[in-house]
Amino acid sequence: MAATLMQLRRLVRARLGVPSNDDMFQDDVLDDHINLAIDTIEMEQRWPWQERIEQVTVSPAAPDIVLPAGWRATHGLFNGEEELSLVSPLDILSWAETSGAARVWAPVGDSLLVRPLVSGDVTLTHFYQRDPVWLRDDSDQPDMPSQFTGAIVAKAAELLSTREDNRAAAAVHLADYTGWIQRMRRDLRRSTGPLRIRVRPGSWV
């Protein structure tokens, strides 16, 4: 089970060697840097725990797909087993075919435009990646599997040490964080066993 925000605060304080009543490391300060650490890890590469699958229906009256909350990028749009092709926004806005089977898509604004316009209701499968949810409450947990909690702690400690202009400590935490990222990438390449991914409604598994 992934660490809660309250537990992450305790782990970061322990790593920094500061007491819970230290005025320079109050909860809101730690929360911000823990969330920034998670954002940094999520930007390192495309991690599987942020992958999502959803079924969406397009119709003549609602031909476009409204992007889900937290959407970062679409990795595929399928009509059954047939994958629709990604085109540029300019191409899809000038698409000549007015109706037919959905064949292409493009992100425009807060929607995915699908063309040609369908003549009836069509259910599509949307594969996408979302941004991490910002942790706010004590019981909130990151999507990241629990075995990678050390990466969050190391990155948050580095950011906080940099904030305090403690360059020596920041360098140590950065080295540890870099090691964690390397281990995470190795774990994802292994085929000997699955990651302990937390399953949520609408997730990729």
Q: Are residues 126 and 161 in the same domain?
A: no
Q: What is the pLDDT of residue 1?
A: 67
Contact present, 154 and 11 (Cβ < 8 Å) = no
Q: Are residues 119 and 173 in the same domain?
A: no
Q: Are residues 58 and 99 in the same domain?
A: yes
Give the phi and the psi of residue 99 in degrees, each rounded to 5. Answer: -155, 160
pLDDT in tens, 165-175: 999 999 999 99
Q: What is the pLDDT of residue 197?
A: 44
Task: Decide if 123 is inside a domain.
Answer: yes
Q: Are residues 117 and 165 in the same domain?
A: no
Structure-token match 């999502």, residue found:
52
Cis peptide before 116 (omega within 30 of 0): yes
pLDDT in tens, 72-88: 999 999 999 999 999 99
Q: Are residues 20 and 55 in the same domain?
A: no
Q: Work out how many domains the chain is built from and give that number.
A: 2
Q: What is the pLDDT of residue 190?
A: 78
Q: Are residues 31 and 61 in the same domain?
A: no
pLDDT in tens, 21-50: 888 899 999 999 999 999 999 999 989 999
Q: Which residues pair with 126 in a beta bridge?
A: 54, 77
Query: Domain limits at 97?
Result: 49-130
Q: Are residues 174 and 148 in the same domain?
A: yes
Q: Could you tell me the two tokens for 38? A: 């998670």
Q: In what order do the strands lie in the sheet with 82-83?
A: 51-58, 122-130, 71-79, 82-83
Q: Are residues 155 and 126 in the same domain?
A: no
Q: Which residue has the higher pLDDT, 43 or 199?
A: 43
Task: Decide if 139 is inside a domain.
Answer: no
Q: Are residues 67 and 80 in the same domain?
A: yes
Task: Decide if 136 is inside a domain.
Answer: no
DSSP the chain: -PPPHHHHHHHHHHHHT--TT-GGG-HHHHHHHHHHHHHHHHHHS--GGGEEEEEEEE-SSS-SEEPPTTEEEEEEEEETTEEPEE--HHHHHT----SSS--EEEEETTEEEEESPPSS-EEEEEEEEEPPPPP-STT---SS-GGGHHHHHHHHHHHHHHHTT-HHHHHHHHHHHHHHHHHHHHHHH--SS---PPP-TTB--
Q: Determine the Cα–Cα distance for residues 142 and 184; give it in Å rounded to an integer.
A: 16
- Does position 101 have pLDDT exceeding 60, yes or no? yes
- Does position 186 have pLDDT exceeding 80, yes or no? yes
Q: What is the pLDDT of residue 150?
A: 97
Q: Are residues 54 and 41 in the same domain?
A: no
Q: Are residues 69 and 126 in the same domain?
A: yes
- Does position 195 have pLDDT exceeding 80, yes or no? no
Task: Decide if 9 is inside a domain.
Answer: yes
Query: Of 130, 158, 173, which closes a domain?
Result: 130
- Does position 203 have pLDDT exceeding 90, yes or no? no
- pTM comes to 0.78
| pLDDT tier, 2 (very low <50, low <70, confident <90, very high otherwise) | confident
Q: Are residues 150 and 126 in the same domain?
A: no
Task: Decide if 205 is inside a domain.
Answer: no
pLDDT in tens, 110-141: 999 999 999 899 999 999 999 998 999 999 99
Contact present, 24 and 180 (Cβ < 8 Å) = no
- Does position 99 have pLDDT exceeding 70, yes or no? yes
